[in-house]
A and B are shown apart, each in its own frame.
Chain A
Amino acid sequence: MSKRRERDLADQVFSTRDFIRTLSHREFVTSLSLALFLLSLCLIVDYYDNEDWVEANETTIKWTLFFLAMPSNHIFYKQEHRRSNNFIGRNIHDYIFLIFFAFVINSKNYLYGLGFTMHFKGGLGGAIAWLFIIVLFIMTFETVIAFIKRGLNFLGWRVL
């Protein structure tokens, strides 16, 4: 009984089955619209970067917006699926969001005449290192989100 419960818990947290089974255009539309929105907010920040307050806090503002946009994916997921995404599902959704964000940044640069660039210092080794860092970063971030989710559940605000 106890072993089965443990397996169920591991299944709940690390199984991709539920996420893959229900994966549809909705997740992609969520990530795309949030990536566009994040980019537009960053552009507003850039537009006002001569204002003292913005100039002094530009990096902080942009990272804050980024860390608000990522969990927003999970809020939409919960709204649309009427259940929370599991840990591994949230990780995959974050990758989708990051891919869209990189895509819209490059598309914007391309449309503004700045060209399309994607390069890593150190070639293939650098790319693998970056991938490893990103995976680690997403996992850490989602662990923090899991704790926040527990805290919000405790307060009765089940948005994630």
Chain B
Amino acid sequence: MARALKVKIAIGCLAIFILVLIPLLDTKFFAQVTIKRWGQLSWHDFKGIVPPFTSYGAGISSKVYLEYDSSRRKYFAYAGQNNIRSWVKDTAQQNDYGLNHEQYHFNITELHARMLNDYIERNPKGTFELFALRHASLNIDLARMQDQYDSETDHCLVYDQQRRWEYRVDSLLLREAGWHTDYFSGAKAYFPDVPDSINGFSNSSVYRSFSLVKYGMQFSMFSYHLGDFKINDLNASVNSFENQNGRTVISVNVDSTIYDFEAFAVSSDSIGYNHYTKWVYSSPYLYKLYSWYPNMKGDTAGYIENALSFINSFQIVNTDKYWVDKFEASDSPIIASKLVKMERKEENEKSQYCMYSGTSKPLGFYRGPFYREDGGMLLAYDYLIHADSLRYQDVMSLNQDWYSYKPTSEAQIYFVPAIRIPKEILDIKVGYILLQDTTKECYEFYHDRVDTPPND
């Protein structure tokens, strides 16, 4: 056989070998494929053969599937991950950070599946051809976004950009559900994941907060009820606060154009973290937006973008309507009576309670009092010291009027009809009587003296 022919046959055989081998490697010799619907991944979902000579630790294969649901008689899309086409090197399996990178590839796929579902919802009479066309164009966008993700994060090697992408993708997945509002203070901010809600006392002031620790960072929104609050030198106070917390101030900017005042401080600590703190005061609440991020691992631009995205999402909203609606939806009875100052309890008078009023102190966080459209007055109070199971009655005393409410695990909404509101409100006390005191001859009225509303 001629030499050239032998060479050509060898080339042809080599080509056929490659054409057979690659699909076999790709399908792990036609192993059973499991398509996992979108959710949390683990390394057990990566069963494919590692491509020879690859420089990466792991790879994921996920795509958007378009199917027809015969029971609902409509098309739907979902994100699925192919376990055989997803692979991981043994050396990478100890690394959860790498798994997290792959998880966000899957999350990006889910994002596009939701976009296709939105399109299907908007076109209920659409045909398969229409949805397939949109599916194809979304696949192009999906591939582009996946490439951009890998390119900007250098396959998760650039930490801050990895965290930036995680924040961005989570936000896109959560959409409007990421907005969290404190219905007492009206503070509202965007959290890319569900934050923890913590309420309590700090240096005698009451606070409510939402806090999220994720992406190697912290995002917190605090609200303090301060009432009338005056500060002489805001710049010095912010500097002093940062120094007290062991941080070196990098910059402080103060402003009072939108709110009573706001201050934005950037500081760093000795263990390698930068801190962004924004203070906003809008009477009677003081708000603190706070974020920290590590500054010891190379570039921090992605962390800064995350911190600023969070802080800049802050706004103060009027939540009065929320409480009015909530009150109108409840059917809890309100018992009204009169307070009379007496030296002792009359022996034969069964309808009288003996009650003494202790010192006024904060018992929780509140909003109001504020007025409903018809002139009725509302006040929402969230008790933090004693749980509802320990309380016998929740009480509001308005001048000499006494309103009792059944304790509730949620915030107590106090209401006074317009007709019963005195011309001049001198004193509002809000509090409760404890169950443990009901066996005593005289009850103690644990209370907080709240701000009186303007008479209008």
Contact = CB atoms under 8 A, between A and B. Distances in A.
B350 interface: no
Contacts of B342: none
Contact of B22 (A26, A44, A55, A79): A44
A29 B7 CA distance: 11
Given A36-B15, A37-B14, A43-B18, A51 B8 contact: no
B231 interface: no
A39 B5 contact: no
A149 interface: no
A33 B54 contact: no
A145 B8 CA distance: 22
A53 to B, nearest CB: 9
Interface string A91-128: 00000000000000000100010000000000000000
B9 interface: yes
Interface in A61-106: 76, 79-80
A50 interface: yes
A57 interface: no
B2 A80 contact: yes
Given A26-B5, A29-B5, A32-B12, A40 B18 contact: yes
Contact of B11 (A37, A48, A52, A55): A37
B22 A43 contact: yes
A37 B10 CA distance: 10
Contacts of A112: 23
Contacts, number: 64
Nearest to B61: A50
Contact of B26 (A34, A36, A47): A47
Interface residues of B, number: 27
Nearest to A29: B8
Contacts of B5: 26, 29, 80
Contact of B12 (A37, A47, A51, A108): A37
Interface in B317-375: none
B29 interface: no
Nearest to B154: A52
B56 A33 contact: no
B19 A108 contact: yes
A100 to B, nearest CB: 11
Nearest to A47: B22
B8 A76 contact: yes
Contact of A36 (B12, B22, B23, B147): B12
B97 to A, nearest CB: 19
Contacts of A36: 11-12, 15-16, 19
B178 interface: no
B233 to A, nearest CB: 54
Contacts of A52: 150-151, 155
Interface residues of A, number: 24
Contact of B59 (A29, A40, A50): A50
Nearest to A75: B4
Interface string A18-59: 000000001001101110110111011001101110010000
Contacts of B294: none
Interface string B48-69: 0001001110010000000000
Nearest to A35: B15
A33 to B, nearest CB: 4
Contacts of A55: 147
A30 B8 contact: yes
Nearest to B7: A76
B18 A50 contact: no
B8 A33 contact: yes
Contacts of A108: 19
B54 A79 contact: no
Interface of B: 2-5, 7-9, 11-12, 14-16, 18-19, 22-23, 25-26, 51, 54-56, 59, 147, 150-151, 155
Given A29-B5, A44-B22, A50-B56, 5 more contacts: A33-B8, A33-B9, A47-B26, A76-B4, A79-B3
12 contacts: A26-B5, A29-B5, A29-B8, A34-B11, A39-B19, A40-B14, A40-B16, A47-B25, A48-B54, A50-B56, A76-B8, A79-B4
